[in-house]
A and B are shown apart, each in its own frame.
Chain A
Amino acid sequence: MLHIQCPHCGELRSEEEFHAAGQAHIPRPLDPDNCTDAEWGDYMFFRDNPRGIHHELWVHATGCRRYFNVTRNTETYEILETYKIGEQPQVNGKPVVVAKAIEGETV
């Protein structure tokens, strides 16, 4: 069971307080009516499924009810950072070296 730092509550809390809400940083097209079916289909249905770093949207469902983003390593399930909606991730790209993550506390 994951241990998740809610950036709004400022605490590590257990996964059962949260709901996962899919991939983060998928903005709704500003002008949906002028999207082609292909563009709309991309927005609606196509998501990344990376092995390694993944940015995810979560909601603190039984806590503050607020949404936030999580950077998670899908291989090790480590959570490398959590950050508020509108902010950009600090961790990107390839998975960080596992050994490094052992030492630091969850960001």
Chain B
Amino acid sequence: MSQVNRLTHGGRIDRRQPLTFTFNGQRYQGFAGDTLASALLANGVDVIGRSFKYSRPRGIVAAGAEEPNAIMQIGSTEATQIPNVRATQQPLYAGLVAASTNGWPSVNNDLMGILGKVGGKMMPPGFYYKTFMYPQNLWLTYEKYIRKAAGLGRVPTEIDPDSYDHMNQHCDVLVVGAGPAGLAAALAAARSGARVILADEQEEFGGSLLDTRELLDGQPAADWVAKAIAELDATPDVTLLSRATVNGYHDHNFLTIHQRLTDHLGEKAPMGQVRHRVHRVRAKRVVLASGAHERPLVYANNDLPGNLVAGAVSTYVRRYGVAPGQKLVLSTNNDYAYRVALDWLEAGREVVAIADARQNPRGAWVEEARAKGIRVLTGAAVTEARGSTRVSGARVAAIDIKGFRTTSPGEWLNCDLIATSGGYSPVVHLASHLGGRPLWREDIQAFVPGPAPQKRVCAGAVNGVFALGDVLADGFEAGATAAGEAGLKPVAGEVPRAEHRFEEPSLALFQVPHEKSTARAPKQFVDLQNDVTAAGIELACREGFESIEHVKRYTALGFGTDQGKLGNINGLAIAARVQNKAIPEVGTTMFRPNYTPVTFGAVAGRHCGHLMEPVRFTALHGWHVKQGALFEDVGQWKRPWYFPKAGEDLHAAVARECKAVREKVGILDASTLGKIDIQGPDAREFLNRVYTNAWTKLEVGKARYGLMCKEDGMVMDDGVTACLADNHFLMTTTTGGAARILEWLELYHQTEWPDLKVYFTSVTDHWATMTLSGPESRNLLAELTDIDLDKDAFPFMSWREGTVGGVPARVFRISFTGELSYEINVQADYAMGVWEQLIEAGKKYGLTPYGTETMHVLRAEKGFIIVGQDTDGSVTPQDLGMGWAVSMNKPFSFIGKRGMNRQDCLKADRKQLVGLKPVNPKAVLPEGAQLVFNTQQPIPMTMIGHVTSSYYSASMGFGFALAVVKGGLGKMGQKVYAALRDGTFVEAEIVSSVFYDPKGERQHV
């Protein structure tokens, strides 16, 4: 395949390394050093996609991050699909497979294009909303087809084979951008001994120096770049990050950098390598040298392939050895763009004419072009392009900018390439991420970064400094300043000598006037990615969208992956012209991270799959796995849910486990309960203050159930706390509440009662807890312990120290099932041995391991609550019928006391916890079901509560539930109805929440 537009020499590509690639199914060849965009241009590919809304053919217009059109789908396999890659930022590699993201059925034969051409005038801003608004319920149908016709890339449906990571970095000076200003700043900072990170988004460091015709110290600028990089590379404490886009500027000089480590090697990272990395950098000082984007001019049909931003033409010619056409017309309002015509001539191509909007330009570049015999038309601009899928001509007319009109009919020039330059927009995105609004500078017709509290220095083009010599000086100074502010002694450095050229100021020109009105002229595009035209912005302003934020949202100006890099200033200028305002009065829209799109893989880093979140296992986890347990996630913990035997489902297994506990003995791994060791002379007083019940009289050796409320009087946590010694307690919390409760205790100790001598230590992981529960538990435990288990020597709600299975243990006689129970606590690393001895000894008692599901059923049969399931932050102890756990007579006003005495908490019709017994014994109410008293009332019905827990009880032979019901404690025996999703109701009777062994005899035996 021939590369028709490839120059025979020049550029930074390696002509000895041809690379084959595929675009839209067709094979092409490029060279190492190409981007996908330069390779496509080299092969004369004009149409690279269809536009978003009008489906007009589009070509490449830029050479960097600001490219709005060349958005590609990359990848040869499903798993390696990458959507929305800018061809200008994708280095070419052998075998690259790319496709247009727009264009259906194909870019060259696009059905929508007909609509775009014929119906273009019928698709103003808001078209979809205005047209497809009625009937409303059909929008979903319309939307499907609209998305198909528009749409960007698609996400892969298979799992990404690559890995990604994050890296934390610290430095004295982070330099953003490695163009002339950034390199100079990095050199100055490095020479003063600063820890420097230099990050640049391109394949190579150097920025504009890689394609400039200007000389430094009389040598090609790229030579100086090589020397500067070599020096930085050899300096210790300098980190060079290429292919690394600084994407976000966050608080306190925290910046995120998205580095594409292997995208230049292939669609999949080589074995063992990370594809993308996010550097999380905390920098003492930041030098922003993010440069400027050239603004294209806005004129009729400026979206035809063959319309390029002027500087991009030079970049393709000088950096990639590609001339994207034969005959150039250049339209400019400034001197610097003239270099493009000189580069084009040197490439052996024809410059048809330069149209300069200024009346009498006399700058050095201008005179050099004139001297080369180039035709320069002054006071003129390209007003319209013509062509079907490629530019074939440009109309150049004299213009009156103030009057916004053309003053001559103009001349059609034959050409296949139109390059335009409307000036340079500093890349102020990063400088504005934290809300700092950019400032308008009339002298350079551009926004520059405004003041901000961040510790940053701006240098070079982003600062509105454009001449190369000035840029380098600005960069050196910024680097030295940043290093000095970071606490280092700046070292005076040598600045390379740039040629000085006389340049005249540019002229404010954004939208070029056309002989017809904006509304009637052929489309003049402002935002190519979102198909926003000058006429669209005019219309938006006329319809009353005056604020630029509203104009943006109505027209989509600056949306998408583009974020208005080329179009925003032109759009502002048009809105300002229409509203007869100055540009700074219109202002800019907000800039937000990220500067360019970041892959989800990079965002996630290592936090995916089993590393998504920490997982906690108990000391007995391996045993549960071997027994075939199914697991339930409780907080970060994996807890055995149930232990099915062959052929058993959840219900069968739970029925068997429940029966074993009620009739014989079961064993539960309860290690995940939060445990907080509380010590100090004031420990008891502290408990009195944070729990609702009284702790003053709890003797050593005893344990007590406690309720914890927030200041509003609502239940927050519960658990059993045991008195280990007069100044030593062990508190248990819910599994999920452990960390939160510890922080809560610390809060009150540190801020309210620092005078109390008390200390808190989390010991959750230090102790493993094995619960034996059931009538046979005493007999079983007796075989393995030296503790006297006599019912009087070791009564209910007490604890004893001794050995179990030969290791030191604390045994708590407390019960969450209502059966005789012992909770055996041993050091976690002894747990497996003790557990196995219990299992072995338990065989003759029918010992059955049970999981959380059985635990839930058994506790609910007893009416024991689970905080967070039966409570929801709006339930007081009294609402739960647990007033017995509240001691209103304690001298200190405990946390929650005042709250639960508010008027609202004392009302009789608060939702209160009750039991529900469905009239049909087979029925099991759905958890969460809403309850009503009367099913005949009109909808919306008065809901009087909801089901909080619901199970089928094998031992009782019927379904049962816990629920909160308005005034429920006073409505025993009444009927309520649970409303189901299908409109039917289940009838149930309000009963006591304690279904099983209401007198509590079984746990006391």
Contact = CB atoms under 8 A, between A and B. Distances in A.
B453 A101 contact: yes
A78 B453 contact: yes
Interface string A78-107: 110000011000000000001101100010
B2 interface: no
A85 B899 CA distance: 25
A40 B453 contact: no
A3 B898 contact: no
A76 B746 contact: no
Interface stretch (B246-254, B529-537, B729-737, B952-960): B246-254
Interface in B892-925: 893, 897-899, 901-903
A57 B901 CA distance: 28
Interface string B681-698: 000000000000000000
B453 A59 contact: no
B911 to A, nearest CB: 21
B282 interface: yes
B752 interface: yes
Contacts of B633: none
B387 interface: no
B453 A76 contact: yes
B451 interface: yes
B270 to A, nearest CB: 32
B747 A21 contact: yes
Contacts of A27: 752
A99 B878 CA distance: 56
A78 B453 CA distance: 8
Contacts of B454: 102
B737 to A, nearest CB: 15
Contact of A77 (B252, B747, B897): B252
B239 to A, nearest CB: 19
B750 A67 contact: yes
A66 B251 CA distance: 23
B712 interface: yes
Contacts of A59: 743, 746-747
Contact of A28 (B252, B752, B901, B903): B752
A33 B900 CA distance: 11
Interface string A12-38: 001000010100000110011101010
Contact of B893 (A3, A32, A79): A32
A59 B746 CA distance: 9
A102 B251 contact: no
Interface string B256-285: 000000000000000000000000001000
Interface in A31-55: 31-33, 35, 37, 40, 43-44
B78 to A, nearest CB: 35
Given A32-B893, A61-B743, A66-B750, A1 B898 contact: no
A43 B752 CA distance: 14
A44 B899 contact: yes
B757 interface: no
Given A3-B252, A21-B747, A57-B751, A32 B902 contact: no
Contact of B711 (A21, A44, A79, A101): A44
B156 interface: no
Contacts of A86: 754
A101 B253 CA distance: 13
A33 B898 contact: yes
Contacts of B711: 28, 43-44
Contacts of B452: 98
A18 to B, nearest CB: 11
B282 A99 contact: no
Nearest to B762: A65
A100 to B, nearest CB: 10
Contacts of A78: 453
Nearest to B256: A1
Contacts of A1: 250-252, 254
Contacts of A31: 893
Contacts of B747: 21, 59, 67
Contacts of A2: 251-252
A3 B250 CA distance: 11
A40 B254 contact: no
Chain B interface size, as a band, is 20 to 34
A102 B452 CA distance: 8
A-side interface size class: 20 to 34
Nearest to A32: B898
A22 to B, nearest CB: 10
B455 interface: yes
Contacts of B254: 1, 3, 14
B79 to A, nearest CB: 32
Nearest to B250: A1
B483 to A, nearest CB: 15
Nearest to B760: A65
A20 B751 CA distance: 14
B434 to A, nearest CB: 8
B746 to A, nearest CB: 6
B849 to A, nearest CB: 35
Contacts of A66: 746, 750
Find the residue from B454, B893, B897, B901 having the highest chain A CB count within 10 A. Answer: B893
Given A2-B251, A2-B252, A35 B898 contact: yes
A37 B902 contact: yes
Contacts of B754: 85-86
B453 A67 contact: no
Contacts of B251: 1-3, 77
B707 to A, nearest CB: 18
B451 A98 contact: yes
A99 B898 contact: no
Contacts of A19: 743
A39 to B, nearest CB: 10
A65 B746 contact: yes
A85 B252 contact: no
A78 B747 CA distance: 25
A97 to B, nearest CB: 10
A48 to B, nearest CB: 17
B284 to A, nearest CB: 9
Nearest to B746: A65
Nearest to A43: B711
Contacts of A98: 451-453
A33 B898 CA distance: 6
A72 B680 CA distance: 35
Nearest to A101: B453
A28 B749 CA distance: 12
A76 B899 CA distance: 36
A44 B750 CA distance: 19
B252 A40 contact: no
A1 B901 CA distance: 41
A99 B451 contact: yes
Contacts of A65: 743, 746
B356 to A, nearest CB: 41
A28 to B, nearest CB: 5
Nearest to B284: A105
A101 B903 CA distance: 48
Given A33-B897, A33-B898, A102 B455 contact: yes
Given A32-B898, A33-B897, A77-B251, A44 B453 contact: no
Interface of A: 1-3, 14, 19, 21, 27-28, 31-33, 35, 37, 40, 43-44, 57, 59, 61, 65-67, 76-79, 85-86, 98-99, 101-102, 106
22 contacts: A1-B250, A1-B252, A1-B254, A2-B251, A3-B251, A3-B254, A21-B747, A27-B752, A28-B711, A32-B897, A33-B898, A40-B898, A65-B746, A66-B746, A67-B746, A67-B750, A77-B251, A79-B252, A85-B754, A86-B754, A99-B451, A102-B454
9 tightest Cβ-Cβ pairs between the two chains A and B: A32-B898, A3-B252, A32-B893, A76-B453, A67-B750, A1-B254, A77-B251, A98-B453, A33-B893
Given A33-B901, A57-B751, A77-B252, 16 more contacts: A1-B254, A3-B254, A28-B711, A33-B897, A35-B898, A44-B711, A44-B712, A44-B899, A66-B750, A79-B252, A85-B754, A86-B754, A98-B451, A98-B453, A102-B453, A106-B252
